[in-house]
Amino acid sequence: MFEKGEIILAKFPFSSLESSKRKPCLVLSHGDTSGDLIIAFITSSNIPSYFKFSINLSPKEKNFINTGLKIESYIRIDKIATIHESLISGSIGKVSHLVQTEVDSKIKLLFGL
């Protein structure tokens, strides 16, 4: 149902796993279990430039409108979770091919591939 590169609204768990919050997330892949998706967190909090696993999504970019996001945001490649699609409210947009290429590169960097 949801595809790689889609931006969805989902309950994303905090690092402590004590709670979750409905946030935009980027679909990275489908899991092995039916209905599972591997996603990356998207935040509107300003991220320091030295965070090497973050990707800026700026309203100044020509394809920003396709993301469905309302304000400048950051994909956090280092904030990944596997969730069931029942936790997803819906899709709001999609990243550009250029952003997807950057996501793929940063995933390789993160895992040393």
pTM: 0.89
Confirm if 103 and 28 have CB atoms less than 8 A apart: yes
Q: Could you report the average pLDDT of every consecutive run of 10 residues in the chain (113 residues)? A: 94 65 92 94 87 94 94 95 92 96 96 90
- R_g (Cα) of the chain, nearest Å: 13
Q: Is there a contact between 110 and 52 (Cβ–Cβ < 8 Å)?
A: no
